[in-house]
Amino acid sequence: GAVVSQHPSRVICKSGTSVKIECRSLDFQATTMFWYRQFPKQSLMLMATSNEGSKATYEQGVEKDKFLINHASLTLSTLTVTSAHPEDSSFYICSARDDRVRYEQYFGPGTRLTVT
């Protein structure tokens, strides 16, 4: 149980374009989803927290107009990187949690974004 998928697993895009990443909880309802980014050899950095049906809460320093998050249902959240730049190239990972049941987060397999 507690499987989270992410799509795509890898994406290469050109500077200035937008990229959408999907995060799905496959066998449980995710009342909360988290979005992280991770640079090589660095720790996870929380970008934002989203609850189903409400606006995401962004961490300090994360531009909400650049990283659009939509938590449309209890099984799906999307992160759109708008007007991507090469410095946005990173490993983006989502996690999901059912707050009614537990504190533990379950992570998706991540999306490796390369902006050229």
Partner 1 sequence: RKEVEQDPGPFNVPEGATVAFNCTYSNSASQSFFWYRQDCRKEPKLLMSVYSSGNEDGRFTAQLNRASQYISLLIRDSKLSDSATYLCVVNINFNKFYFGSGTKLNVKP
The C-alpha atoms of residue 29 and residue 24 are separated, in whole angstroms, by 9
16 sits near partner 1 (criterion: CB under 8 A):
no
68 near 22, Cβ under 8 Å? Answer: no
Residues contacting 87, CB < 8 A, separation 6+: 115
For partner 1, the closer of residues 40 and 86 by Cβ is: 40
8 sits near partner 1 (criterion: CB under 8 A):
no
* Among the listed residues 44, 68, 74, 76, the single contact to partner 1 using CB under 8 A: 44
* Among the listed residues 8, 16, 53, 109, the single contact to partner 1 using CB under 8 A: 109
The C-alpha atoms of residue 75 and residue 25 are separated, in whole angstroms, by 5
103 sits near partner 1 (criterion: CB under 8 A):
yes
Minimum gap (Å) between residue 107 Cβ and partner 1: 4
The C-alpha atoms of residue 11 and residue 114 are separated, in whole angstroms, by 6
* Among the listed residues 1, 14, 43, 87, the single contact to partner 1 using CB under 8 A: 43
What is the distance between the terminal CA atoms of the chain, rounded to a whole angstrom? 37
Q: Using CB under 8 A, list all residues that contact partner 1.
A: 32, 42-44, 46, 49, 57, 91, 93, 99, 103-110, 112
